[in-house]
Structure 1
Amino acid sequence: MKRLIYFAIAILVFTSCEDFLDTENLTEKNTTNFPANVEDVEQAVIGIYNTLNTAVADPQCTYFYAAELASDDRFGGGGDNDKLMQAWDKIMNHGTDASRPFWKARYQGIFRANSVILSIEKMGLEGEEVNQLKGEAHFLRGFFYHELAEMYGEVPMPLNSDEAENLPNAPADSLYAQIGYDLVSAISLMKDVPYNETVAGHATKWAAEALLGRVYLFYTGYYSKDAMPLADGSSLSKTDVVSYLEDCIANSGHGLVGDFRNLWAYTNEYTLPDFDKMSGETGVNGNDLNWVGDGNQESVFAIKFSNFADWNTTIGYSNQYLLHFGIRGGQPYGNTFPLGQGWGAGPVNPTLWETWEDAEPTDLRREASIMPVADLPDYSFGGWTMMEETDYWQMKSVHISAKTGEVDGEGNPTYYSSFSVPMFGASDNFQLDGVNDLMLIRFADVLLMHSELTETADKLNEVRARAGLNPVSYSLEALKRERRFELAFEGRRYADIRRWGDAPELLEGQLGVKVYESGTPTVMKSFGGGYRARYEATGGFFPIPESEIALSEGVLSQTPGYGTASSNFTGW
């Protein structure tokens, strides 16, 4: 089937009148003439990466967002009309197509990856650069299927470029066999060079090795398996995965940033001098606080953003998670400084703060990750009819504001909505000025995965030492605590408690916790029969968009646990 491939750039070809009819039409490239060389392949692979930003244009629909709110460390939050935020927290549905933009973006990426992989093979293109790009396509396809599989369970698995193909839900074993095969293929194809010798923002061999560890741990844990099948008929053992992680640790060039706090944007040069909790401090290893920026040595894979976002086709070029996870507005920036403002999704469960303080009272990561409202003396509760508000906000994925150096008519300091305004020339618009990466795989996670798989404490203690903590002996409980504290608010907690089998009890424990409803104290209450009931009905998965099921004419099945009155969240 001849398929047209469209690009966001226009290619203008100027020729003489005599040659016009003989000139190749480069504005409608297709599988008979594309890709013809490395440059073509690179353009096509950029098209795959672009779908990462397409999904972020509507972050509330994405797996990262849903998993963050569904975990036991955060509530739904938002305003009284932000029912989808609250529904994700309760593993319920709101509307029949809640996550359709994410579904479409991920399958768009998959079809583009399929086209790249198949076209390279059809055109017989070879060489180191082609192999690198083909490996990136395999990585991205594996990443997309990994997110779909963790979000929905069993989903269609197209492996060709025919978007008209109508496929049923693929069994989990088949999905994970394909994910594993894609990642092993990516590892074998991509360059064996340190991360900083590759193109910034592109996937690397090391990212594929790290993601393989993540996928293996979820598959074998959640589905109670001893090994993971691969699509070529072979399988992946724990020993294989450990070897890949050890290769990443030894040869990638990645490492831990000296001070944990320097990973997060509130230590940037425009904010830090006025941030009383952090300014003037010295890190645990004698390093003055100073944000290391995006693309640092600890960032293994991230979604990149820029200051070129607008309200039309490129809103996803801005990190919309920073907006959604920002403190709900309706108050001056000085009330929440240095944290910026937004829609109020994901207020922190107070239990996390309390458990952390009891377990590790000297752990600097607690105050480096969570802002107690008590430290914001002018904070105002109930902004824009805030629901499920708590006394705590996370500090990792949120706008970080900065003083402008000016004062208003009453002599009060004025603020940029984000430090990216003075640092990167972003527009002073809190809905569009999110330029920070969304770090999806961090090197500390690689070290902790290695400890978990080998049941040894060396790598775990490297992570603890960076936080100024004493070494501990290995135990699964110690590993669980370390992952919870080190990786808080980075999208992995929900998957972790699911694969460990801890989710039903921990999620049910959210009931009765103190929250605020439009500024009035109340407690988290039961919806849909409660957290445990919803988890047991759904397996922790989320509903497939109903319009996709309708389009399949019944070939595609809905995720178990949805489609009843008790599964639909209608509000407080």
Structure 2
Amino acid sequence: MSQLDATPDELPGGLWTIYYNGLARCNNAISACENAVGVEEDALAQYNAEAHFLRAYYMHWLWKFWGNIPYFEEDLESPYFARQYTADEIYAEIIDDLDFALEGDKLPMDVSGADEGRATKAAAMLLKARVVMYQNDESKYAEVLADMNAIYESGDYSLVDFASIWTREGEFCDESIFEVNHLPGEYGGKTWGDGWTGFGTNLPAFISPNELNGVDQLSGSSVYKGGWGFGPVRPEVLDIYEDGDDRMSASINHFADGTYTPRFQNTGYFMAKYAARTGYNEPPGDVDLNYENNLRIFRYAEVLLNAAELIVVHGVAPVGELTAEVAINEIRDRAGLDPAAPTAELVKLERRREFLGEGMRFWDLVRWGEASTLTENLPEYSSNRTWASTKKYLPIPQSEIDKTEGEFKLVQNDGY
């Protein structure tokens, strides 16, 4: 995927299966809500809203990866085919689900205690913002900005010390709006023979240096463990940070030559937020597959940066107390930086600094129309790639096309 050379026969097709399973399960949950008897009304409304939020979440990934995809809301009859929607039609379905979840007070703005990890109104608002802004749907920008202001004025969330977010103690912190709750192997560990059993993640192993025996040079920390050595950070990324920016050492690790075994595209710099840490996985199960690092999906920082972008870059009139100056300088103050005027260039740069390693950058470049910067031929990084507008979407898996026929025959995305 990093080389932009996926083919219908060679691509991460598992994503297709995973998110369509999610869609089907949400459909079942929504059907159960519609047919339930003897369930307290408020609880039933909450369950229904949660299922609609999750369906929108799963579909938004299928939509971003593939665009023009099958969609269904009820069990399919034999031969189990569904109509292929256009990307714009899928967008409309996602918005419908999110509007349903947001209507009224079916979801709380925040949760705590045993409810941590459940969907909230704030999470649905942020998902709607991501989808609307990726679609460049100007007709809904004002709605989205009003949602960001509602989260801001609720007082339920706040920025915390940046480095603390990524530790065990930082899970479900005051900045967390939605996160995936991974658990270590002691709760049921995954093995290489059974990767779907258990609750841990292999992400920390994936991004940490291979056979590590050294200390992070940026923070001086020795808490990190070795992993598989993939997804390194390029050295020039350090230059995007101003002097004194606390986010740099919390986002990037640097290990000296000789303290690990280099792997593909090695630079010596690695992603730090989800790095493998000592004591974050336990047997049973295979250690590398069972880290407990929660995946932070939505953070309060995104509320502020969305607002700043909508106001400064897209010209939406400010709503309530949340101005672009307030938003951008809350972000900068937390990072240890002086206040600055919120220009379009700075808003985009702060977004890059804030979310480094969190899977945001590619989608931002695409929606801003700046993805041509991905084109490069850099032998030192074993990277030779060319951006084209058709690369916005992956090719539909050929194995899925081969399963369909007649009026339901899947049509391949342009460019493949």
TM-score by length of 2: 0.87
Q: 2:86 aligns with which of 160, 171, 194?
A: 171
Range that drifts further, 103-112 or 242-251: 242-251
* Pair 1:121 & 2:34 matched: yes
2:265 matched residue in structure 1: 388
1:486 matched residue in structure 2: 354
1:226 matched residue in structure 2: 138
CA drift of 1:378 comes to: 4.1
Alpha carbons 1:365, 1:467 under 8 Å: kept:
yes
Alpha carbons 2:210, 2:260 under 8 Å: kept:
no
Separation of aligned partners in 2, 1:352 and 1:297: 28
Q: What amino acid sits opposite 1:310 in the alignment?
A: K
Alpha carbons 1:335, 1:379 under 8 Å: kept:
no
Q: 1:476 aligns with which of 344, 347, 350?
A: 344
Q: 1:453 aligns with which of 287, 301, 310?
A: 310
Separation of aligned partners in 1, 2:268 and 2:214: 18
Alpha carbons 1:167, 1:555 under 8 Å: kept:
no
**Higher Cα Rg: structure 1 or 2?**
1
CA drift of 1:387 comes to: 1.6
Structure 2 SS opposite 1:495? helix
Separation of aligned partners in 2, 1:152 and 1:355: 31
Q: What amino acid sits opposite 1:103 in the alignment?
A: W
CA deviation map 1:478-536 (0-9, x unaligned): 1110000011111111111111111112x12x432733xxxxxxxx342xxx323xx33
CA drift of 1:106 comes to: 0.7
Q: What amino acid sits opposite 1:90 in the alignment?
A: Q
Alpha carbons 1:465, 1:471 under 8 Å: kept:
yes
Structure 1 134/372 Cα, relative in aligned 2: closer, same or farther at 3 Å? same
Q: What does residue range 220-369 of structure 1 map to in structure 2 within 5 Å?
A: 220=136, 225-227=137-139, 237-251=140-154, 253-257=156-160, 259-265=161-167, 292-307=169-184, 308-311=188-191, 312=194, 314-315=196-197, 317-329=199-211, 331-332=212-213, 337-356=222-241, 360-369=242-251
CA deviation map 1:447-489 (0-9, x unaligned): 1101111222211110110011111112211111000001111
CA drift of 1:206 comes to: 1.1
Alpha carbons 1:549, 1:556 under 8 Å: kept:
yes
Alpha carbons 1:158, 1:167 under 8 Å: kept:
yes
Alpha carbons 2:213, 2:226 under 8 Å: kept:
no
Separation of aligned partners in 1, 2:354 and 2:77: 41
1:550 matched residue in structure 2: 402
Alpha carbons 1:112, 1:161 under 8 Å: kept:
no
2:132 matched residue in structure 1: 216
Alpha carbons 2:301, 2:331 under 8 Å: kept:
yes
Separation of aligned partners in 2, 1:181 and 1:252: 27
Structure 2 SS opposite 1:296? coil
Structure 2 SS opposite 1:420? coil
Separation of aligned partners in 2, 1:372 and 1:551: 47
Range that drifts further, 306-315 or 105-114: 306-315
Alpha carbons 2:207, 2:231 under 8 Å: kept:
yes
Alpha carbons 2:214, 2:260 under 8 Å: kept:
no
Alpha carbons 2:189, 2:286 under 8 Å: kept:
no
1:514 matched residue in structure 2: 380
Q: 1:192 aligns with which of 88, 108, 112?
A: 108
Q: What amino acid sits opposite 2:333 in the alignment?
A: A
CA drift of 1:260 comes to: 0.8
Structure 2 SS opposite 1:327? coil
Range that drifts further, 139-148 or 170-179: 170-179
Separation of aligned partners in 1, 2:56 and 2:29: 14
Structure 2 SS opposite 1:560? coil
* Pair 1:501 & 2:348 matched: no
CA drift of 1:427 comes to: 5.2
In structure 2, list runs of 5 or more residues that go unmatched. 313-323
Structure 1 155/201 Cα, relative in aligned 2: closer, same or farther at 3 Å? same
CA deviation map 1:395-452 (0-9, x unaligned): 0122113xxxxxxxxxxxxxxxxx225xxx5559531330110111111111110111
Separation of aligned partners in 1, 2:252 and 2:33: 47
Structure 1 167/313 Cα, relative in aligned 2: closer, same or farther at 3 Å? same
2:317 matched residue in structure 1: none
Q: What amino acid sits opposite 1:246 in the alignment?
A: N
* Pair 1:431 & 2:288 matched: yes
CA drift of 1:162 comes to: 1.9
Structure 1 545/500 Cα, relative in aligned 2: closer, same or farther at 3 Å? same
* Pair 1:151 & 2:93 matched: no
In structure 1, list runs of 5 or more residues that go unmatched. 1-87, 228-236, 266-290, 402-418, 516-523, 563-572
1:531 matched residue in structure 2: 386
Range that drifts further, 481-490 or 171-180: 171-180
Alpha carbons 1:156, 1:168 under 8 Å: kept:
yes
Structure 1 428/365 Cα, relative in aligned 2: closer, same or farther at 3 Å? farther
CA deviation map 1:54-86 (0-9, x unaligned): xxxxxxxxxxxxxxxxxxxxxxxxxxxxxxxxx
2:280 matched residue in structure 1: 420
Separation of aligned partners in 2, 1:163 and 1:400: 47
Separation of aligned partners in 2, 1:541 and 1:150: 7
Range that drifts further, 158-167 or 133-142: 158-167
1:107 matched residue in structure 2: 20
CA drift of 1:107 comes to: 0.8
Structure 1 96/437 Cα, relative in aligned 2: closer, same or farther at 3 Å? same
1:142 matched residue in structure 2: 56
Separation of aligned partners in 1, 2:210 and 2:19: 29
CA drift of 1:316 comes to: 5.5
CA deviation map 1:228-254 (0-9, x unaligned): xxxxxxxxx222111112122222612
Range that drifts further, 187-196 or 98-107: 187-196
CA drift of 1:544 comes to: 2.0
Alpha carbons 2:257, 2:268 under 8 Å: kept:
no
Structure 2 SS opposite 1:362? coil
TM-score by length of 1: 0.64
Structure 2 SS opposite 1:440? strand
Aligned residues with identical type, % of pairs: 28
Structure 2 SS opposite 1:439? strand
Structure 1 543/328 Cα, relative in aligned 2: closer, same or farther at 3 Å? farther
Paired residue total:
391
Structure 2 SS opposite 1:511? strand
Alpha carbons 1:342, 1:430 under 8 Å: kept:
no
Structure 1 365/193 Cα, relative in aligned 2: closer, same or farther at 3 Å? closer
